[in-house]
């Protein structure tokens, strides 16, 4: 029993960065932009989020405020991701370059920036970057009182996670509501499905695409920061972050472009990522690790086989819109 709880608990912990990365990419793809640079955005968010918290603590000294540090980390990560995807947006939306190629360029650029900032801080600060234990606890511990966590069985699972898990779930619910229940969400979907139709209906295509892509990039960037500040222990760790962004692109497909699915999807992927550590099966651990991709492929194949309209990728995904070319 305890083993199962520990597995689920760790799956949630490991899935949370993915959840943010995925939500950001869902918002982006809903506008018809396929941003393959999520890996780069998460690197940028991770490195700059850590930098924000670290330099704030350095400036504040003993009077460091955990909440403020967290807000600064989130803001820095968001801005880093938003800035990265703003470059992507300008080049693909305004300048109409190919999205796949620009996304890959962003992945190269972003991983470079993330690593550079991480390494640069390390050399500047004499070898080791870490925030104080007090701040670390604030990022990594649950925001609920211990008594709630002590409830047998469900206590730890419901109240034991770091704050980003809860924020992520709230964000996913809000985004799901926004996309499927509000007028702006409807407009956004129409931009992603058929920009020509949306344009004819008087929707400002460029504005929706820009906003969705930049906000989405920012949310993905937060995912990188969450990885660094929780799982990696507030230390820059580019090896651990490697591949998470690509996994997020996979998870978007697995979730069928629905933010609410990202909640349980990320837990499942998180479980697949750590399963080899916890469950002994006669399969080599490296085969375990490719399971998320295999599962995603199966989902991709099945959705294309079934041709159910609700489950398809946004119709205009990856295609630049140019009014004069209709």
Partner 1 sequence: MRSHREPLFHLAKQGDVSGRRAWAIRLASFVLAIFIGGLIFLFLGHNPFRAYGEIITGSLGRKTALRQTIKIAVPLLGTALAIAPCFKMRFWNIGAEGQITAGAIGATFFALNYANRLPSPLLLTIMGLSGVLCGALWALIPAIFKARWGTNETLFTLMMNYIVIGMVKYLQGGPWEGKPGSQIIPNFNNAAVLPKVLGVHCGWIMVLILTLFIFIYMNYSKHGYEISVIGESPKTARYAGMDVGRVTRRTMMLSGGMCGLVGYMVASGANMTLYHNVADGVGFTAITVAWLSQLNPFAMIAISLLLAILDKGAGTLQTAMQVPTSISDIITGIFLFCMLACEFFINYRILFSGGRKKEAKEG
Binding residues for partner 1, rule: CB under 8 A, are 34, 36, 87, 90-91, 94-98, 100-102, 104-113, 115-116, 119-120, 123, 243, 246-247, 249-250, 253, 284-287, 289-290, 293-294, 296-297, 300-301, 304-305, 313, 317-318, 322, 324-325
Residues 6+ apart with CB under 8 A from 322: 96
The minimum distance between CB 3 and partner 1, in angstroms, equals 25
**DSSP per position, 61-106:** GGG--HHHHHHHHHHHHHHHHHHHHHHHHIIIIIS---HHHHHHHH
**DSSP per position, 215-265:** HHHHHHHHHHHHIIIIIT-SS--HHHHTTHHHHHHHHHHHTTT-HHHHHHH
Q: Residue for token digits 């929780």?
A: 230
The minimum distance between CB 104 and partner 1, in angstroms, equals 5
CB-wise, 259 or 292, nearer to partner 1?
Answer: 292
Q: How far apart are CA 178 and CA 38, in angstroms?
A: 22
The minimum distance between CB 244 and partner 1, in angstroms, equals 12
Task: Give the chain's radius of gyration (CA, Å).
Answer: 20
Structure tokens belonging to residue 257 = 């472009």
The minimum distance between CB 181 and partner 1, in angstroms, equals 27
CB-wise, 160 or 292, nearer to partner 1?
Answer: 292
The minimum distance between CB 318 and partner 1, in angstroms, equals 6
Q: Residue for token digits 């697949």?
A: 272
**DSSP per position, 126-188:** TS-----HHHHHHHHS-SS-HHHHTSTTHHHHHH-S-HHHHHHHHHHHHHHHHHHHSHHHHHH
The C-alpha angle 219, 220, 221, rounded to 5 degrees, equals: 90
The minimum distance between CB 313 and partner 1, in angstroms, equals 6
The minimum distance between CB 119 and partner 1, in angstroms, equals 4
CB-wise, 286 or 310, nearer to partner 1?
Answer: 286
User: Can you state the angle between helices 259-278 and 163-181, rounded to 10 degrees?
Assistant: 150
CB-wise, 119 or 193, nearer to partner 1?
Answer: 119
For 21, phi then psi, to 5°, come to -55, -45
CB-wise, 158 or 287, nearer to partner 1?
Answer: 287
CB-wise, 166 or 276, nearer to partner 1?
Answer: 276
CB-wise, 88 or 159, nearer to partner 1?
Answer: 88
């Amino acid at each position: 029993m305890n083993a199962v709880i520990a597995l689920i608990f760790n799956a949630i912990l490991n899935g949370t960065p993915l959840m943010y990365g995925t939500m950001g990419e869902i918002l982006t793809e809903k506008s018809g932009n396929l941003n393959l640079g999520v890996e780069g955005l998460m690197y940028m968010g991770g490195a700059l989020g850590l930098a924000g918290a670290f330099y704030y603590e350095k400036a504040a000294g003993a009077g460091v405020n955990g909440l403020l540090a967290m807000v600064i980390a989130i803001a820095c990560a968001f801005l880093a991701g938003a800035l990265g995807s703003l470059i992507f947006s300008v080049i693909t939306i305004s300048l109409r370059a190919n999205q796949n190629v620009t996304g890959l360029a962003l992945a190269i650029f972003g991983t470079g920036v993330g690593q550079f900032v991480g390494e640069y801080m390390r050399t500047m600060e004499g070898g080791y970057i870490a925030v104080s234990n007090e701040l670390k606890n604030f990022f990594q511990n649950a925001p609920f009182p211990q008594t709630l966590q002590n409830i047998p069985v469900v206590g730890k699972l419901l109240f034991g996670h770091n704050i980003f898990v809860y924020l992520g779930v709230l964000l996913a619910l809000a985004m799901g509501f926004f996309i499927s229940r509000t007028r702006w969400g409807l407009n956004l979907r129409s931009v992603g499905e058929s920009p020509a139709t949306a344009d004819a209906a008087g929707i400002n295509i460029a504005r929706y695409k820009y906003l969705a892509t930049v906000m989405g990039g920012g949310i993905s960037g937060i995912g990188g920061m969450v990885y660094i500040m929780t799982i990696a222990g507030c230390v820059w760790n580019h090896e651990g972050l490697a591949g998470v962004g690509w996994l997020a692109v996979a998870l978007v497909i697995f979730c069928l472009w629905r933010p609410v699915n990202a909640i349980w999807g990320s837990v499942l992927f998180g479980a697949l990522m750590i399963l080899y550590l916890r469950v002994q099966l006669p399969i080599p651990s490296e085969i375990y690790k490719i399971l998320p991709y295999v599962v995603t492929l199966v989902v991709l194949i099945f959705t294309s086989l079934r041709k159910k309209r609700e489950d398809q990728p946004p119709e205009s995904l990856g295609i630049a819109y140019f009014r004069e070319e209709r």
